[in-house]
Every structure is written in structure tokens, then in C-alpha cells.
Structure 1
Amino acid sequence: MKIQTAKRLETVEEYYFSKKLREVRELMASGKPIINMAIGSPDLAPPKEVVHAIQQAVLVDGAHKYQSYQGIPELRQAIADFYSSKYKVSLNPKNEILPLMGSKEGIMHISLAYLNVGDEVLVPNPGYPTYTAVANLIGAKSVSYDLIENNGWKPDFHSLSNKDLSKVKIMWVNYTNMPTGASGDVEMYKEMIDFAKKHSILLVMDNPYSFILNDTPLSILSVEGAKDVVLELNSLSKTFNMAGWRVGMVSGSSDKIEAILKVKSNMDSGMFQGIQKGAIAALQISDDWYEKMNTIYRERRSLLWELIDLLGCTYDKTAKGMFVWAKLPNGVNGMEFIDNILYDNDVFIAPGDIFGSNGKGYVRFSLCVTKEDIRKAINRFKNQEMVFVENNINQNYKL
């Protein structure tokens, strides 16, 4: 007997990578040597200090009990110290920081804390699909705002201000930007904050990529007056290669953190203490760690640029973060493009289409791939560069 699912499931689809990776795994199981360049899941190990910290922590009395919904005080203090040291931001560890089981969890918690059915949410186009999915799941309405290459992938606040924003409650922003790699700066953040104050909008900055290939990491909370209207999500997933550990945090004024805690405390029973101890070790790691990781990512990125050149795409060498966002040759369909190279060349990359309509005509490459695998991919395309690109154009334009 089939039980009818909730109506809300009609508003969303299964996450693209959840679905597509099943297909990729099936191809690999059949013997296909797939190189996965689509997913931003760090393949490198966390700092050894982090692994040691969790190994020691599991032996401590009480480690396996339920933990505080707010995280242990030592973790909140480590987050406050990290923000002070790296971003020059002062946070009260008692009531302006809430550890999360990954920042993706925070997107749901914030939305449940602030959105009513029928409220509107501004989401970037292109942007992280989860912003839209969560809004739909809880009965709010997502309203996309354009990010375009000609404007440096930054919001056009003049155009936004001319729209009816009376129902908008939250605006999601993400810099260093995913998928484009565009950087944030203080002047843009000031403009964001002024816009949010003018229209009584909660501005939520999603900030997990600020240390990847970026010499000037920045938090929007460093701007004066930001806490009036801003929450910032951050994560240890990318910076410290801890994606599977599920450690993130949200920071902001005490009243906003209290609102989120009301939701969170009804949805989980606290983070495992050993993971919290590991997170503390990560947050206290020396600056040598960041340079070591970025040296590896620079080398990988240079090789990826070579591969992307072979595919006839263009890209911005000043972009930051864990991905290379590349523009396809005119007339090439992104979804067909990625399927062609998956089936014909055993390489999987992400189509820009999945990040919104402004992602059409682009593809995204992840830096979470070894240099050896990138070289293998280069060799697969080296002898068929012109035929491959021309075939894609011919197929779409029927030349």
C-alpha cells in the first residue's frame, strides 16, 4: 500500500549530486575509470592534530553522553578566538556563537526560525541550490536575484531596490562565492548591510571558502553595524578537510542566536564531544596549515586550467575558492557537454545549470582531485581537442 507523501515534497527534487552520483557509481561498478571533478569534498586529510584530538577525546569519561545543544564552552571560545585572530571580529562565546552539525543544517535552522509560510527569500542566481530547496520545503517563496559575469558576480542592489521587497524576510549571500569564485570586499559588504537595514531583511552570509586560495579572508561581521541585520555561517569542512565530520557554526547577535537555538534544540541532541575536541584543535592550528593546503590547490588549479583550455572554455584566473568556474564555447549546452565527457571520456564535472539559470553556459571543476588524476584527464582529451569541441557546437547549432 502506498502512503501519500507530504505536499511539500512536490516543491523539491532530489539533490542533483545525490542523484547523479548514483549513476557515476554504477558506471564505476561496471569498470569505467571515472575521474570525479564535480564535487567539493576535500580528498586531503585533516591536520594530524585534529585526528589525535578525537582519538584522545573518545577515552574521556562522559564523552559518549548527550552533549550541550550549544556545544561545549571550549569550542565556542575556540570559534571566538578564531574569528578574532583571522577576521578581526569580536564575538561573545556565551551567546553570539552556535556550533552546528555543518552549515547546511544551519540553513534549515535559520529558515525555520525566521520564515513563515508565504514569506519571500532572496537567493543568488547562480547559487547553492539548498537555499531554494529549504525555502520551498517550509512553504516560503524563493525569489532569485541575478549574479552575472559582467557585474563581477555581485548583486545589483539598485535593481533589487526597485522591486517589491515587502514580503522578503531573508537574503542569502555567499562570498567567497560558490560556484563562481568571486570575492567579497568591505565596500560590497557595506552596501549589503545598508540594503538589508533599509528593507528590514535578515542578511545571511554563507562563508565556508574564505581561506581557500585567498590571501585576505574576510567576514562580513567585521563591518561596523553588521550584527544588526547579519548572521554568518561558517564551516570546518573545506578549510580543514573535515567535510564528513559535519562541523559548522553560525554567528551573530545574541537575540538571533537564541532564535536559532529554539529550533536546533528540538532537532538534535548535541554534537559528539570527540568531534568538538577535534574542531578545537583545527581552529587552533598554525598558519602553516593554510599555506600548505593552498600550495597544493594552486598546483592542482594550474593543471585544471590546462585541461579547461583543451576543452575550449574560458575562466577567471583571479577567482578564489575550491572550484574553477568556466564558460563554455558559445552554443554549447552544458548538460549535454558534461554527459558527453562523462560517457565518452570518463570524466565527471558539474554543469552550471544546476546552480540557476545564470549558470547556463558554464561548468564547474572541483580542486578536490589529485594532480595524477587531472593529468590522466588531460591525456584523455589531448588528442581530440578540436573534434570534441567542434562536435558539441555542431550538435547544438547543426552547422
Structure 2
Amino acid sequence: MKIETIAIHAGTKITDTHRPAVQPITLSTTFEHHNDSVIYTRAANPNRLALENVLAKLEHGQEAAAFSSGNAAGMSVFQALPSGSHVIAPDDMYHGLRHLLVDVFKGVLSVDFVDMTHPEQVEKHVKENTKLIWLETPSNPLLKISDIRAICDIAKIKDIPVVCDNTFATPVFQNPLDLGASIVMHSTTKYLGGHSDILGGALVTKHTDELWSRIRLVQTSGGAVPSPFDCYMLTRSIKTFPYRMKGHERNAVEIARFLQNHKNVEKVYYPGLKDHQGHEIAASQMSGYGGMLSFLVKGDAAYADQVIGKLKYYTNATSLGGVESLIERRAAVEGPNTKTPQNLIRLSVGLENLEDLIEDMGQALS
């Protein structure tokens, strides 16, 4: 099956005797013992099994594990590592996961944050106790591009698993498992959910190895799993996901070009632009460039806030991937320890009419 067909059919597992076209929601927390199988909804639920099936197929993986949030998915990987493990992560890692490594797992795990756009920096920081390389490409919020193949080649020699956060690219435009990654991570809150009304996360594995078994143990024993209703809603949203992503990218490309030529914009970060630092690598491992971009205004934080405040069709809000365009001054969200420039604006381009979005952005910048 191609991705559009997978999205529609792989998340449907009909057990109802009336054979409905859409899988119903199974709210029961417990199930009758049958054929030596014991099901309790923290460990398994029909809606979650259907969701995990479609997620695995979208990312060309063997299995998927669904979680109650993207951070819960990432944290399960960290929890599955032996105490004292060393982790290599991007220097511009998503701040929520960075907070977990630096503060929550302080004293349990050690971490080096490196510039992943230079694979030699990854190789330089490998230690005897390195048990994980964490990738995020494109990165948040600078859209930095890491060479997945090159980093996975380094990891393979050292027998180190590579987990790649594929939230920005999505499986429509990038499949890290096909490029050598061990596990793919998603905040399903974002593009997979697509409507800013579902909280969730997921991991998809290439092989069901020892690390995956420990992640499954964390998932079922820890219980940070999505509800049947959230699984149902997410599976429903995934049915339109491939087509939504094409619209997000189409709008993002044109807005990036518009911003690139605007007199009040200093720099645009979008891997689809030929002058983007990682454009060539992105073109070699992505089939499209997604709906996320960032840009620097020619001015300070106050001017950036002024621009955002004048917009009509862009909502000043955190998160991304919804059908509505979302915008924010990222440094204000990340807090006092952020390395993000104060005049950087992050934009999640929605599915509104492109002319409306460009006209609105133009009047705000002017």
C-alpha cells in the first residue's frame, strides 16, 4: 500500500459483529479472559492496537507504541536506558525533551549536546558508555538538517541505537528507519493529529530488540498511554494526514519565498530554500520540506512581538501542525536559558488560503 491507502485502511480493525465501516470506540477498561489472553486497557486496547498498527506502517517499522504525549514517548526511551548511560543529543534539541535529560534524569544519565549538522562532532563525543544517539531533523526551531545516513553509519560501527524525532518532517516527507535509524519518535499532537485537539506521542521501531522490549515495559507498566477516545480521534485524523501535509508544504514554500524577499526580514530558515544551510542533505533524505519555518525580523524582540500582534489569520500560540496557522516568538516560550535569537519567529503554516496568509503577513511586517 502507498501512504494515502495506509493512512485510511491500516488504522481500522473491525471486531463489531455489525461490521461498521469505521472502527467504534471501545471504552472498557477490562476484557473477559479468552483463549488464554488477558487484556487490561493499560496494556492493550482495540483502539490503541489499531492506532499502533497504522503508525508502524506509516513509518515502515515493525511495531509502534503509543503514548499520552510526545514527552512521554521520549521519556520512555530515556527510562529504558541503563543507569549511568551517556546520551548524545542535538545542541538545539526540542526544549521539552532537553529539560528531561538535563533536569529529570540528572544523576541518572549524562548527556553531551553537539552540533548534529557535523557528523564528525557526533563521532568525537562517543564514549564507552554511550547508549543512545538522539536525532532531530529538521530541528526545532532553527530547522537545522542532520545527515541521518552518516550519523547512523557512525552509530552502527559502535552498536549504538539512533532515535530520530521525525515530528517536523512526518512520514510523508521522511522515513528515518529506511535511512538507518533504530526508532522514530513523534509528537502525534502535531501533524498526525492535525487539528490542535489531541495530545499524544508515539515511537516506531525497526526491530523488536532488547531496547524495544524495555520501552514496551515502560509503556505498559508506567501507564502513560492515550485513552481509547484519543486513539480513535488520532486514527480518524490520520486518514486525511497525507493530503493535509501536501497543503501545509505548498503554503510553507510560498510563504518562505515571500519572507525571503521582504525588506524587514533578516533571514529565513526553511530547508526547501536553496540557500538553506542543510538544503542539499534535506533534498537527499526528504521527499518534501514540510510546513514549518522560522525567520528573523530586522529588529528586536519588541518589533517581533509587534509583528505577531498585528496578524489576523495567524494565532499567537505554542504547538504546531494544526490546520490553522500558528505563530510565536520562540525565545519567549523557551524561557531565560534559551539559545534561540530573541527576534526569531516560528511559524506553523496552516491550510488557509495562501493569498490571505501572504497578504496578512505583508501588512504585519510593514
TM-score (norm 2): 0.66
1: distance between equivalents of 2:268 and 2:237?
36
**What secondary structure, in the 3-state scheme, does the structure 2 residue paired with 1:99 have?**
strand
2: distance between equivalents of 1:265 and 1:176?
30
Match of residue 379 from structure 1: 363
Shift in CA distance, 325/115, structure 1 to aligned 2, threshold 3 Å: farther
* Residues 1:283 and 2:238 aligned together: yes
Match of 1:172 among 134, 148, 153: 134
Q: Is the 8 A contact 1:209 1:239 kept in 2?
A: no
Match of residue 27 from structure 2: 63
Percentage of matched positions with identical amino acids? 11
Shift in CA distance, 189/65, structure 1 to aligned 2, threshold 3 Å: same
More helix as a share of residues? 1
Q: Over residues 290-343 of structure 1, what are the superposed CA-to-partner deviations in whole Å (9 max), with x where a residue is unaligned?
A: 333433444544555466x414345452463343233566xx7xxxx2244426
Q: Is the 8 A contact 1:207 1:234 kept in 2?
A: yes
* Residues 1:104 and 2:67 aligned together: no
Q: How far 1:138 moved relative to its partner?
A: 1.7
Q: Over residues 234-263 of structure 1, what are the superposed CA-to-partner deviations in whole Å (9 max), with x where a residue is unaligned?
A: 243224414431233211222322211222
2: distance between equivalents of 1:269 and 1:239?
19
Q: Is the 8 A contact 1:325 1:362 kept in 2?
A: no
Within-5 A mapping of 1:267-278: 267-268=222-223, 270-278=225-233
Match of residue 25 from structure 1: none
1: distance between equivalents of 2:230 and 2:22?
9
* Residues 1:251 and 2:217 aligned together: no
* Residues 1:191 and 2:155 aligned together: no
Q: Structure 2: which 5+ runs fail to align? A: 1-7, 12-19, 31-40, 277-288, 311-327
Match of residue 338 from structure 1: 301
Q: Is the 8 A contact 1:125 1:358 kept in 2?
A: no
Q: Is the 8 A contact 2:139 2:145 kept in 1?
A: yes
* Residues 1:77 and 2:57 aligned together: no
Which has more radius of gyration? 1
Q: How far 1:286 moved relative to its partner?
A: 7.4
1: distance between equivalents of 2:176 and 2:296?
29
Aligned residues: CA RMSD:
3.9
Match of residue 344 from structure 2: 363
Q: How far 1:265 moved relative to its partner?
A: 2.2
Identify which of structures 1 and 2 has the higher relative contact order when contacts are C-alpha pairs closer than 8 Å and 6+ apart: 1
* Residues 1:219 and 2:158 aligned together: no
1: distance between equivalents of 2:110 and 2:237?
37
Shift in CA distance, 217/174, structure 1 to aligned 2, threshold 3 Å: same
1: distance between equivalents of 2:344 and 2:241?
34
**What secondary structure, in the 3-state scheme, does the structure 1 residue paired with 2:222 have?**
coil
Q: How many residues of Structure 1 are paired with residues of Structure 2 in the alignment?
A: 296
1: distance between equivalents of 2:250 and 2:136?
24
TM-score (norm 1): 0.61
1: distance between equivalents of 2:23 and 2:192?
27
Q: Is the 8 A contact 1:353 1:362 kept in 2?
A: no
